[in-house]
C-alpha cells in the first residue's frame, strides 16, 4: 500500500493528526520527515510519544524516500508529515508517490515576511514556487486543516493573496 497521504505541517504530530487524520485515512505508520528534526534526539523521543501508540518514525528526507520504497513499506499504510514544503518537494523528486498531498499548518517563521494564505498557513515569496512545483508533480495540492473540512485548491488560495 505504502504512502496514502503526505501532509505538510510544521507542527508535525499533534492532536489533529493522531486523532482525525490517522483514523480517517486508516494509517498505521506515521513518518515525520525533516533533516534537522531527524538529528534531534529530543524530538526523536517526543514525537513517537505524541503519536499515541501509532507506529512512528522520525527520518531524514533521504531516509524517508528510501524506506517508503522498501519491502516493509509495501505492507503499511503510511502517512508522511513533512515539516516544510521543501521537504515534501524533495520527497516527490526522490520518487515518493503519495495518493494525495495536503497543506495543513505552516506557522510564520522568525525572520521571514510571509503572506497569510489562510489563517494557519503563512507562505513566503520564496516558498510559493516550491508549492507550485509540488502541485505540478502531483496534479493538485489541497489545503485542508481537518478531515471534516472541505479540501481547497492551495494554489488558488495563494493566487488570491498575490503569490
User: How far, in Å, CA of 3 to CA of 29, rounded?
Assistant: 9
14 is catalytic: yes
Q: Is 59 exposed, middle or buried (0-12, 13-18, 19+ CB in 10 A)?
A: buried
- From the candidates 5, 14, 29, 116, give the one annotated as an active-site residue: 14
Nearest to 154 by CA among 123, 111, 112, 126: 123
Q: What angle do CA 88, 92, 94 make, to 5 degrees?
A: 115
CB-based contact 47:95 (threshold 8 Å): no
User: How far, in Å, CA of 102 to CA of 52, rounded?
Assistant: 22
Sole residue written with cell 486508516: 26
- Element holding 72 (H helix, E strand): helix 71-74
List, by residue number, the catalytic residues.
14
Amino acid at each position: 500500500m505504502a504512502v496514502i497521504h503526505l501532509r505538510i505541517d510544521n507542527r508535525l504530530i499533534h492532536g489533529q493528526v493522531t486523532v482525525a487524520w490517522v483514523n480517517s485515512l486508516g494509517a498505521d505508520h506515521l513518518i515525520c520527515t525533516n533533516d534537522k528534526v531527524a538529528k534531534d534526539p529530543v524530538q526523536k523521543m517526543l514525537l513517537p510519544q505524541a503519536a499515541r501508540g501509532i507506529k512512528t518514525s522520525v527520518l531524514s528526507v533521504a531516509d524517508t524516500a528510501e524506506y517508503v520504497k522498501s519491502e516493509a513499506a509495501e505492507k503499511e499504510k503510511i502517512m508522511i508529515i513533512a515539516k516544510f514544503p521543501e521537504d515534501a518537494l524533495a520527497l516527490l523528486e526522490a520518487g515518493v508517490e503519495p495518493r494525495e498531498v495536503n497543506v495543513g499548518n505552516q506557522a510564520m517563521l522568525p525572520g521571514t515576511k510571509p503572506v497569510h494564505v489562510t489563517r494557519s498557513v503563512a507562505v513566503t515569496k520564496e516558498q510559493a514556487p516550491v508549492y507550485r512545483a509540488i502541485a505540478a508533480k502531483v496534479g493538485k495540492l489541497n489545503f485542508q486543516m481537518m478531515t471534516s473540512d472541505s479540501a481547497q485548491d492551495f494554489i488558488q488560495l495563494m493566487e488570491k493573496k498575490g503569490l
